[in-house]
Each structure stands twice: as structure tokens, then as C-alpha cells.
Amino acid sequence: MFSASDVIIFILTATTVVLVVSLLLMVFIATRKRWRWQVRAILLLPFVGGYTLLGVLAYHKEILFVFVIAMLMALLPLMILIVTHERWRWQARAVLILLLATGIGLPAYRLYVMESKEETAQARPYNPNNRAEYLAKLAEAKAYYKDKCENVAGIRIYKTVPDVEGILLLKVRPERGNRQLADPMWPGAAFGRDSPGDWYIISFLGDEYRAGGSPHRGYITTDKRPGALPGYRWVEVVDPKDGQRYRYSGSVKVTDQKDPTAYNVQVQLKKNPDYDMNVYRWTLDKTLSPSATLPRYAVTFEDHVIPEERSLWVASSTVKVLDLETDEVLGELTRYAISYIHTPVQSMPWLNHSICPNQNMTGDSYSTRLFVDQVLLPKKEK
């Protein structure tokens, strides 16, 4: 079976052949002065008919380029023929001119309409509430995201370092609210679910606990549990407020006392008069760095704010692990994220998005840490 495009191509080819043959025939007609005007008109009908058909096809199928070529080739000889044969009756002249105008006017009007629509589309902003516009934008975004995931995004580890006690964080992911999570131009969008502020620092200090037999990376916790993989013992950060470098670590401290009137506490006190009434919690400790030199290994990130991809609700970012002593890049994580929510009202697009590459995680709150510890292996407890 022939497709619609095959039929159109066949019609165009046949029409072009008719036009060329008619053009040659028209020259012959113009030289035969003894032929009556009726004969001339009949012989010209294939030419004019094919020319008009091409104009109609150009109007409906937007094949303007083919039409314009045929028009330029045929217009001048036809006009000369009509004007120079004064014996033609005015009715014949009118019919020929009308057909010619149809062949030219229809595609010209079509071109005008197309340009007007294009200008209107460029002037009017994207409306995600229009389903047709949203689906078209989403298809474009998915194609862009797929290409970047296949050709740009990825985890690249160039060198691993064992037994690392501490690292320097050149940047800390800032706190974010609903406004940032719903902003397509927010710099941190690709890592929208990553822990911000102090929790970003804590993520490097906590231990990783994996469920038994799970093939996925575990979750980060500050609770000490048997079988957990240790985090870093300390993390240093330069405070932008005073320019000082601080060392962060964690410890368990007494933060409160238990209520002696509570039923469970009374039960324990009856069993053991020396029952510990202290409440212990893991806390984040911050002190000035004891070292005059920077830590050798550092972590940073570069959020990419590219208007073309952000207009598609696609975001990207790169995390880098650095050796400051040798100026080497030890590893890179380039991530792309796509949100399918283009009309944020109650939902937060950068909390509900898809990411690549897959880091084999059970969650996304500590994704930077779970990449860094593949490059800089934390020192295990003795």
C-alpha cells in the first residue's frame, strides 16, 4: 500500500512533468499563428491545470519550495503568451488570468498564514495549562533529557584514596524553601533532594547502614550500629561570614534528663536504683580548625543554570572530588534531572523529579556523600 506521502510525491512528479511538457508545447503554440484561439486555449489547459493543482497542493501540504520553483519557471512565458496574442477573446484571457492567480494566490496566502502563526507563537509565552503545548514541551524535554543521560551524565572515578579521615567542603548546599523548589531557574535543582545546610555536613559524618543482603546503598545515620560503614571523622568548611575555617565532628552528649514520673522510668528505677536518667543525643560539634594548612582532599559542586534546558524543566550539576596537593580531579558525578510538573502550585517540582545516572541508592538525601565515599574511602574504626 502507498502512504499519503508517496501519493503526494507521485502527484508532484506528474505535475512537474506536465508543466515542463506544457511549457515546451506553449512555445510551439505561440509560433503557430494560424491556430484559432480555441485550439490555443485547449492546448494550454494541461499547463494551466497542472499549475493550479500545484498551487492547491502547496496550500494544503505546505510544499512551497516546489511551487515557487515551478511558478518562477512558468509565470513569465505564460504572461507573455496571454498578453501578445491579441486575438484571444477577453473571456479566455480572464479565465487564464484567474487560474494563474489561483495558482499564485493560494500558496502565497498559506505562506502569510504560516508566518503569522509563527510570529504569534514566538510572541506568546509557553502555557503549561494548555494540554497540547504541555505535551509538546514534555516530548521535547524527554528527548533532551534522554540524550544528556546517554551522552553526558555519569559517574567517573579516576583514582581512589583509602583511609581518609577528613575532607574539606568547598561549598555547602544552602537551605531551600518552597519558592526555590518550584523555581525552574533555581541553581540547586538537580540536587533538590540532597540534604542542605548542616545536614549536608552531617551526611559526610554519619555512618552508612545497609539492610542485610540488600544490593542497594544504605541510609546515613548518626546512630552507632553494628555492621555500619563508617563516615568521615571530621569535615572542614570555611565560614563565609568570617572567613575562618572550622572543623565539624560529631559526638554523643547528655542533652536532657528523663522524667522520673513517667511510668516506664519508674519501672526501670524499681528494677535498678542506679538506672541512668540522662538523655543522650548525637550533636554536631564546631571548632576552629586545628591545622594551619588545608586538608588535602576537597569536595565541590558546580550547578549549571542553562536557560535553554531550564525552560524544559531540566537541570544539571557536577560534583567534583579534588586533590588539592596535586591539583587532580579524582572523580566527577554529572547529574541531570527532569521534572514533569510544569505548573507548580502545591507540588514541588524539584522534590518530584527523575535523575540520571542511577547511583543505586534507597534514597536521594545523601547522594553527594554516597558518591564521594567511592572516591575517598573513609578510614575504618580500629
CB-neighbour burial class of residue 18 (10 A; exposed 0-12, middle 13-18, buried 19+): middle
pLDDT at 133 > cutoff 80: yes
Q: How confident is the model at residue 347 (pLDDT cuts 50, 70, 90)?
A: confident
How confident is the model over 276-287, as a mean pLDDT?
A: 91
Find out whether 88 and 37 touch, Cβ atoms under 8 Å.
Answer: yes
The string of pLDDT tens digits covering residues 61-89 is: 555 555 555 554 555 555 555 555 555 55
Better-scored residue on pLDDT, 329 or 62: 329
Instruction: Identify whether the C-beta of residue 282 lies closer than 8 Å to the C-beta of residue 252.
Output: yes
Q: Which three cell numbers stand for residue 207?
A: 555512618
Max mean pLDDT among 49-58, 214-223, 247-256 falls in 247-256
Residue 256 confidence (pLDDT) above 80 = yes
Amino acid 216: pLDDT: 82
CA distance to 146, 217, 302, 303, 328, per residue, from 333 (Å): 17, 16, 10, 12, 15
With beta carbons less than 8 A apart as the criterion, state whether 220 and 201 touch: no
pLDDT in tens, 87-123: 555 656 666 666 556 555 555 555 566 666 665 555 5
In contact, 304 and 316? CB cutoff 8 Å: yes
Quick one: average pLDDT of 256-284?
90
Assess contact for 164 and 378: CB atoms under 8 A: yes
Burial code (b: 16+ CB inside 10 Å, e: under 16) for 105-144 equals ebbbebbeeeeeeeeeeeeeeeeeeeeebbeebbeebeeb
What's the rounded Cα separation, in Å, for the pair 18 and 35? 22
Residue 26 clears pLDDT 70, i.e. is over it: no
Query: Helix 64-84 to helix 90-123 angle, to the nearest 10 degrees?
Result: 150
Cis peptide preceding 357, ω within 30 of 0: yes
- pLDDT at residue 55 is higher than 70: no
Alpha-carbon separation of residue 185 from 157, 200, 337 (angstroms): 29, 22, 13
pLDDT tens column, 299-311 = 999 999 999 999 9
Q: What is the pLDDT of residues 155-172, one digit of tens each?
A: 999 999 999 999 999 999
Dist CA 208 CA 295 (whole Å): 23
What is the pTM (predicted TM-score) of this model? Answer: 0.65
Q: Write down the mean pLDDT value for the chain.
A: 80
Tell me, what's the pLDDT at 95?
61
pLDDT band at 255 (very low <50, low <70, confident <90, very high): confident
pLDDT tens column, 356-372: 998 888 777 899 999 99
Higher-confidence position of 362 and 12: 362
Contact 145, 314 (CB under 8 A): yes
